[in-house]
Amino acid sequence: MKTFGVLTILLIIAVSQVQAQGLVIKSKQNQEATTDYTVGCGSNDFMKHLDSKISGYYDFANKSMTEIVKNASNENYSKSVDSIFVIPVVFHIVYNNGFENIPDSVIQNQITVLNNSYRRMNSDTTNLRPIFQNIVGDAKIEFVLAQTDPEGNPTTGITRTYSEVEYFGGILPYGSGQNQEITDWVNDSLFYNLFRITNDTLGGINPWDTDKYLNVWVGDLRIFEPQFNNYEEIVYFGLSTPPIDHHNWPDSVLDVVNIYEQGVILHYINVGANNPNSFASPYNAYNGLVTTGKLLVHEVGHFLGLRHIWGDGDCSVDDFIYDTPNGNAASQWNCDKTRNTCVDDIFGIDLPDMVENYMDYSSGNCQNSFTIGQIEVMQYVLNYYRPDIANIEVINNIVDNQFYMDIQVYPNPTTGVVTVIS
Lowest mean pLDDT, pick from 183-187, 243-247, 325-329? 243-247
pLDDT band at 86 (very low <50, low <70, confident <90, very high): very high
Domain, as residue range, for 119? 2-421
Label residue 81 by pLDDT band (50, 70, 90).
low
E strand or H helix at 219 = strand 214-219
Cβ count near 138 (within 10 Å) = 16
Q: Among the listed ranges 26-35, 67-76, 155-164, 309-318, which one has the minimum average pLDDT value?
A: 26-35
Q: Count CB-CB contacts under 10 A for residue 145.
A: 17
The DSSP element (H or E) to which 399 belongs, if any, is strand 397-399
Choose the weakest-confidence range: 7-21, 164-178, 192-206, 326-340.
7-21
The vertex-350 CA angle with 345 and 352, nearest 5°, equals 130
User: Among residues of the chain, what percentage have pLDDT more than 70?
Assistant: 86
Q: Which residues contact 317 (CB under 8 A, 6 or more apart)?
A: 310, 311, 326
Q: CATH number of the domain at 203, please.
A: 3.40.390.10
Say if residue 181 is exposed, middle or buried (CB neighbours under 10 Å; 0-12, 13-18, 19+): middle
- Euclidean distance between the first and final Cα of the chain, in Å? 47
- Which pLDDT band holds residue 406 (cuts at 50, 70, 90)? very low
Strand 408-410 relative to strand 419-421, pairing: antiparallel
Residue 330 and residue 314: Cα distance in Å, rounded? 9
pLDDT in tens, 302-333: 999 999 999 999 999 999 999 999 999 999 89
Do 184 and 59 form a contact (C-beta atoms < 8 A)?
no
Res. 413: pLDDT tops 70: no
313 membership: H or E segment, kind and range: none
pLDDT band for 80, please (50, 70, 90 cuts): low
How many domains, in total, are found in the chain? 1
Query: What per-residue confidence (pLDDT) applies to 306?
Result: 98
